[in-house]
Chains A and B, each alone.
Chain A
Amino acid sequence: MNGVMDFISLWALPFIILLILTTGLFKRVPLYETFTDGAKDGFKVAVNIIPYLVAIIVAISMFRASGIIESIENLFAPVLSHFNIPADTIPLMIVRSLSGSAALGVFSDIANNLGPDDYATKLSAVMVGSSETTFYVLAVYFGAIGISKLRYALLVGLLADFIGIVCAIAVCNWMF
């Protein structure tokens, strides 16, 4: 099982690149010109997303620095302990949708402090592994094409995140 997965993660990228280049060569596409032509847009796209990223990342940095996540943790800890949910995982549930690197950081802290045998380590591993940073994805993807009216996209993303958290708790309770 391990071997197969290592093989896939090692070969996925090289395989895609080989496939694209080889098909291009057979179809007589001018590889070099086409590549540089497409690559030209890289800078433009990256610069386009800066305003959207600044808005989202600054707001989230302020939110995290304000200590409000700890306040929420203290508020909800007694309620959640009824459902066998360790208080250590509460910050993770909030941060998960806001920032990917922060979520991984919080998870590393939990894992390092509580050790491999603790239930909180397993629960937070599943929570982090099954999530994608909703705010970041929306800022980057909509920012790149200049869309500022998100309609229901954020609502759906956050609801799905919430369902993910509930499922992670249920599945971990059942399996570990």
Chain B
Amino acid sequence: MNYIFYFLIVISIIAGAVNGKLPEVVNSILTGAELSVKVAFSLIGIMAFWLGMMKIAEKCGLVEVIARIIKPVTKRLFNEIPQDSPAAGDVAMSFSANALGLTNAATPIGIKAMEEMQKYNVDKTSASNAMCMFLAMNTAGFQLIPAAVIAVLIGIGYKNPTEIIAPTLLVTSIAFISAILLAKIFQKLWMPQKLAKTRAKEEKVEVKL
């Protein structure tokens, strides 16, 4: 992430200078910063609503029931988190909301799922394997009906906008499955969190000595 952050900004400034767009680049800092606060603030209300709803769902045992239903799946994909915990149920609910295209509900529930998974994380500053798997599934954007796209197509007078659904579903499924497989592969290849943490500690000790 450090390199990407650096790369995005430095490349933008250099490319802006070359293309004679430096003023636009500088202005975009302000608009970007404003936009981020707007996005965050627009989340407050809907976040509060869904966190409230999820609390009820959790207390009445609904989350646990859902966790139990999808247990065969979570057992394989999320072996770090206990299968009957709210974490597993939240993951399932967030994923269902995403698949149904309920973005407003999916984000708050997804964040709730992340908070639950954080409880089982050995290093609170770095991403656990379960989190990486969850986000891999999320970024692949599995969705049954691409509503926004269909709205645009209807707007331009596309004759049969639903013909886009089948190919989209096919593509998103392939991307989704590859994301899961990739996350599984990287889980094995990457340095485990515990090891990384102890190494970091050892380095600090060495610096002190």
Contact = CB atoms under 8 A, between A and B. Distances in A.
B127 A147 contact: yes
A66 B178 contact: no
A78 interface: no
Given A29-B60, A111-B152, A130-B141, A49 B40 contact: yes
Interface of A: 1-2, 5, 8-9, 12-13, 16-17, 19-21, 23-24, 26-27, 29, 31, 34-43, 45-47, 49-50, 53-68, 70-71, 104, 107-108, 111-112, 115-116, 121-122, 125-126, 128-134, 137-138, 140-142, 144-157, 159-161, 163-164, 167-168, 171-172, 175-176
Interface residues of B, number: 105
A58 B179 CA distance: 27
A102 B44 CA distance: 22
A157 B136 contact: yes
Interface in B14-53: 15-16, 19, 21, 24-25, 27-29, 31-33, 35-37, 39-41, 43-45, 47-49, 51-53
A47 B36 CA distance: 11
B92 to A, nearest CB: 13
A167 B178 CA distance: 11
A129 B149 contact: yes
A146 to B, nearest CB: 7
22 contacts: A9-B101, A34-B56, A38-B54, A41-B48, A43-B47, A46-B44, A53-B37, A57-B39, A62-B8, A62-B32, A66-B16, A67-B15, A116-B159, A141-B114, A147-B118, A148-B126, A149-B127, A153-B135, A160-B139, A161-B175, A163-B178, A171-B170
B195 interface: no
Contacts of A154: 1, 4
A126 B166 CA distance: 9
B29 A148 contact: no
B61 interface: yes
A157 to B, nearest CB: 4
B73 interface: no
B125 A151 contact: no
A145 to B, nearest CB: 5
A117 B13 CA distance: 38
B167 interface: yes
Contacts of A71: 15, 19
A108 B162 CA distance: 17
Contacts of A60: 8, 32
A34 B12 CA distance: 47
B95 to A, nearest CB: 12
Contacts of A144: 111, 114-115
A56 B16 CA distance: 18
A150 B25 CA distance: 27
Contact of B175 (A21, A148, A152, A160): A160
A134 B149 contact: no
Interface in B158-173: 158-159, 162, 164-168, 170-172
Contacts of A26: 60
A65 B138 contact: no
Nearest to A116: B158
A116 B157 contact: yes
B140 A132 contact: yes
B126 A149 contact: yes
A156 B136 contact: yes
Nearest to B39: A53
Given A68-B11, A164-B175, A46 B47 contact: yes
